[in-house]
Each structure stands twice: as C-alpha cells, then as structure tokens.
Chains A and B, each alone.
Chain A
Amino acid sequence: MLLPKPAERDLRLDLFRGLALWLIFLDHIPSNIVNWVTIRNYGFSDATEIFVFISGYTAAFVYGRAMREHGAVVAGARILKRAWQVYVAHIFLFAIYTAEISYVAHSFENPLYGEEMGIFDFLQQPDITLAQAMLLKFKPANMDVLPLYIVLLAGFPPTLWLLLRVPAAALGASALLYALTLYFEWNIPAYPNGNWVFNPFAWQMLFVFGAWCALGGAKQLSAAILSPVTAALAILFLVFAFFIVLTWYIPGLDALVPRRLEEWMYPIDKTNLGVLRIVHFLSLAVLTVRLVPRDWPGLRSLWLRPAILCGQHSLEIFCLGVFLSFAAHFAMVEINQGVGMQIATSLLGIVLMIATAALISWYKRIEGRSPQSRPGPPGTTLVGGGV
C-alpha cells in the first residue's frame, strides 16, 4: 500500500496463486468429492506448478527491486530471512501433524488395520525422526511443498543476481541443471527411504522461469504468447492431455494410444517435473494470459477479491490450508464422512482461508500505518507478504 505505484503489481498473479492454494487445500483432503473440480483430474500438471511458477515470478518482482535499490547483500539477506520463515512454518506444521498422528495412534486400534498402523512406527524413535524432520529429510504425507520452497529460496540470491545481469545465462543455467538432474537422476535423499517427493533440482526450473518472466522475459515473449498459433497449439495439447488422462480411467480407450507414444511418454514424472507437465502448465498459462489480460476489469471485482487476498498472503494461507486439510479429515473421521460433510468442510475451509487472509491484510495495514512499527524500508514486506 505504500508502494509508489500500486498498479505495478499484476493482480493476476495473486488471483491464480490464491486459486492454486484453494486447489492444494482441496487435493489434500482425502476422500473428498470436491476434489473432482481440481485441475489435476483433467491433465498432466496440477496446482503445484501454478504455485511454484508464480512464487518465482513474485520473488523476482519483489527481491529484484530490492536488489537493484539496496544491493545484492541486502536483498540476499532478505531472501534468506524469508527462507528461514518458511522453515519455521514447516516445523510448526510438523508439530501439528505429529500431535494429530500421536492422538490417532493412541486412540485407534483395529486388527483389520495392523498393516496401516505401520505409519506410527516413527513415533517409537522420536530421537531419530525429529532430527530427520528438522533436517527436512523426514516429511510426512502432504508436507513436501514447503521444503521444496525453502531450498528454492535458499538458492535464489545468486540466481537473482545473475538474472539481473545476464538473464539468458541464468535461464540457461537453470535449464542445464534440470537436464543434468534428469540425466544423472540427482535428488536429495529422504528419510527413511527414497528421495524428495518434489526434487528441488528439477523444480527450480519452473521457479527460475517464473523469475525470468517477471524480469522482462514475459515482455520478450509477448508476441509469441499472444500469437493465435501458440493458442491453437496450447488448446490441441490440452485436449490431447485430457484424452490421455481419460485412458487412465476407462478400460479399452488405452488401445487407441500408440505403443511408441506410450513408451516415450511414460512415466509422467511429478517428482522430477516431467517435460509433459511443464508443457501442460505452459499451455494453461498461455491461454490464461490470453483470456485474462492484465487490465481486465474483473480483477478489481468483489467476486475475485477473496482469491486475490489469499494469493497475497501465500505462505500463511498455504500453511493454514495444510492444517485445515488435516482438520477437515479429522472432522470427517470423528463426526461424519458423507458427501454433505465433504462439501461443507471444503467450503468452510476456503472461507476460513479467506477470513484469515483478510485478517492478515488488516494487520499489515494497521502495522504499516504506525510509523514506529515498521522501521525497515518499504517495498518487500508490503507487497502482499512478498513470496
């Protein structure tokens, strides 16, 4: 609000990040009929791509300006501070998760589920698992996005420095790292087995691409993005992806997919951000930019305000969403798991996310207005909580 030109901020980013946060929340509630609206059921990519791309875009937008105005050291320090905040948020969520799982482990017993009770084994060795959790190696279900984000932010200062000097070199380095990661199968090990669910060495590419777009790349590409040929290709690809997804559910359809294509196409890897996922996301993005121009009046309408508010406080709302998805599942288990309850908890969760975002905005406003409370330079924290 204290920004010199508030109009500079592209509200579309907040809008779609807000929507992505809602989708991530919905996807995290198991056995939820409302899940059927989320985009992962209609193509290769899902809300994670939207979230990571927009986060890269806004990070470059906010910290890029800070780097130009205050230098690389100050901007780098702020990025690392943000990474630290995300880390603290992750550990906080882990504590809530552990509380819930410990409760269930103590209150639930059934010989039918002897096998499933294996997920409580980690409670037997708190010394190891807590340390592994703090090292970000032990990540329970649905807690994989924030660790990815922490690593992306921690590596961002040098990337941003290069992006501001030789944007093409930064983008090229990012693509090279992605390619090498796919080739050599690099990843960070996880505890007790396997690797990170979201491989940061692969996913960084979307983050850096978002940042590159924010720092002028989008303008360079605008002719290509807005060309009808691109739009047609994007539509074709989305239709193709939808058809392929249908073959995963309907027996017999699979016969229509040529074997060569299958061999080339599968697996469509989420961990390593498979190429088809990127192309699917870019197709969605190209069409979105076409359908929703930057100065679209609807962006100022009351109807979209809730999603935009959520998108402006993404870290807080993301964490809240993860917590609410635990809580929603808990409520379903303890009270009722009917379709009505699924819809009600989904809607209630989104309403709570909106209310919290509004509350945070209000806090920022009152804190921003009192001169003593914010001695730091304006810009970073005021742009809707930054990243």
Chain B
Amino acid sequence: MKPIVVALLCVLIGGAAVAKEGNECITAAGAIAPDFSLPHVALAIAKKKLDVAIVGSASSELNGPAGTNIAYPTRLEEALRGLLPGVTVKVATYARPRETASEMEAKLPRIISESKPALLVWQTGTADAIRGVDPDEFRVSLDDGVDKLRAADTDVVFMNMQYSPRTEAMLAVTAYADAMRIVALKREAVLFDRFTIMKRWNEAGVFDLYGATRTTNVAERVHDCLGRLLADVVIAGAKLAPAADKGTQ
C-alpha cells in the first residue's frame, strides 16, 4: 500500500505545483470569455464526439527536443479531454509555415470533408503581415472562410498573432489584427485574442518573451497555457449556445 500512497502523494503535489505555475498564466490572461456562442460544439458535446480542426501557420507547431509535439493543439486536445469526460475528443492540426489566410481558406473544403469538425480554430495573420498581403484581401479571405464553414455547420474560432516584443516594430500587424477582430465581430465568430493574452503575460512577468534562448522551455509553457485557455474558451462558447438551437448566426 505504502508505495502507492507515496506515489499518489507525489502525483498530487507534483500536479498541484504544475497547476499553480499554470494557473498564474491563466489568471494573468485576464478576461477571455467568448463574445459569441459555439452551437455546433455544444451539439457535438451532447453527442459525445467532438472533432476539432486547427488550421494555421508555424506558430501552431512546436516540437520538443525529443521530437514530441508540445504545441498548443496537443495541449488543447488534452485539456478538452479532461474537461469533457465521456466525450471522444479529437484535434487534427493542419499547420504549414508561411501559409497565408487566402491559402488556408482555399484548403478549408478539404479539411472539412476530411475531419468533419464541429469547430475549426483558424490561426492566421502573421504570415500575411510578413508577406505584405493587402489587409483588405486578408479580410475577404477570412470572410469567405466563415461562409464556407457556416455552410458546413462548423463553428469557427479565430486565433490572432503572437505578441512578439522583439519584432514588434519591424512587423506591422495592426491592420491584420484589426481585420480579424472586425470580421469576428461582424460575423459573430469567436476571437481567441492570443496577442492580448501574451501581452498581458509579458506585462505581468509570467513569461519572459524578450529573452533569447535556444531551449523550448518557455515556448512549451506558453503553448501549454494557450492550449488550456483555448479549451476554456471552447467550453464557455458551447455553454453560451441555447440548448436546442441549431444555431443560425
């Protein structure tokens, strides 16, 4: 019996320590409640099977030293499984470096038919800013994407760019961040404001986003927190949905 108790205690203490460190990032993230509901997620949860697809660029990928995937999509999947006991949760990631919103929009039909997700998390903005895509074209791609997703009974959560203090003056992201916020508001879609969350972490000193490093320590913890926060937003969005409403916009 004794070893088991000790092991349990270790797990509990260890878990508490991780949770404490993790909770700091959750509290410092501030108010992240979704503005709009996620009716198809609610429906999928009710049916005990939640499929999520993530389309994004390089910041949706992160591999640890051992080649293990430690990026936020994996963390999201784990967090959702923890929060939704009895529901089969699957997160499929379609991340490609340097891909712009319009390229992502073009492959949405394939993603929809492949993984039939109730929810698509659309991480974008940085690649468009780097490549200097016309912000208006960017906005139209998002808008067209929402059309395709709505037609396929899929909820969408937009995820904007990372807050990157070192490169902030060299990369003009404002126009793209504004476009995402405005499309989200106009189309009543949920925006996961990664930029503001990371900025709050930086201000509260939760993570050192300035430091130069080759290790993935900070990146791993950032992605872990992002995944958990995103899971909270997804659940909160589902709870906002009126029970039997099929969710027209």
Interface residues of A (CB under 8 A from B): 28-31, 97, 100-101, 104, 107-119, 121, 140-142, 190, 192-195, 247-248, 251-252, 254, 262, 267, 269-271, 325-326, 329-330, 332-333, 337-338
How far does the Cβ of A26 sit from chain B's closest Cβ, in whole Å? 13
Category for how many chain B residues contact A:
35 or more
B186 and A193 form a contact (CB under 8 A): no
Cα A117 to Cα B212 with chains together (Å): 12
A113 and B62 form a contact (CB under 8 A): no
29 contacts between A and B (CB under 8 A): A100-B170, A104-B166, A110-B213, A111-B213, A111-B219, A112-B62, A112-B209, A115-B58, A115-B59, A115-B127, A116-B162, A116-B166, A118-B97, A118-B98, A118-B127, A118-B130, A119-B170, A141-B171, A190-B132, A193-B131, A193-B132, A195-B134, A247-B185, A248-B185, A251-B35, A267-B136, A271-B136, A333-B210, A338-B203
Given A112-B162, A118-B130, 6 more A-B residue pairs with CB atoms under 8 Å apart are A114-B97, A115-B126, A116-B130, A117-B167, A251-B35, A333-B166
B134 and A141 form a contact (CB under 8 A): no
Verify if B106 is at the interface (C-beta below 8 Å from A). Answer: no
Cα A101 to Cα B130 with chains together (Å): 14
The number of A-B residue pairs with CB atoms under 8 Å apart is: 122
B165 and A248 form a contact (CB under 8 A): no
How far does the Cβ of B207 sit from chain A's closest Cβ, in whole Å? 9
How far does the Cβ of A293 sit from chain B's closest Cβ, in whole Å? 36
**Given the known A-B contacts A30-B168, A109-B213, A141-B172, are A115 and B219 also in contact in the complex, defined by CB atoms under 8 Å?**
no
Q: Scoring B residues 109 to 138 as 1 if CB is less than 8 Å from chain A, else 0, what string do you get?
A: 000000000000000001100111111110
Q: Which chain B positions have C-beta within 8 A of A116?
A: 59, 126, 130, 162, 164, 166-167, 171
Q: Which of B165, B175, B178, B218 contacts A31 (CB 8 A)?
A: B165
How far does the Cβ of A360 sit from chain B's closest Cβ, in whole Å? 26
Verify if B160 is at the interface (C-beta below 8 Å from A). Answer: no
Cα A269 to Cα B127 with chains together (Å): 21
B134 and A101 form a contact (CB under 8 A): no
B202 and A337 form a contact (CB under 8 A): yes
B186 and A194 form a contact (CB under 8 A): no
How far does the Cβ of A55 sit from chain B's closest Cβ, in whole Å? 22
Q: Which of B131, B134, B181, B219 contacts A110 (CB 8 A)?
A: B219
Closest A residue to B58 by CB, please name it: A115
A254 and B186 form a contact (CB under 8 A): yes
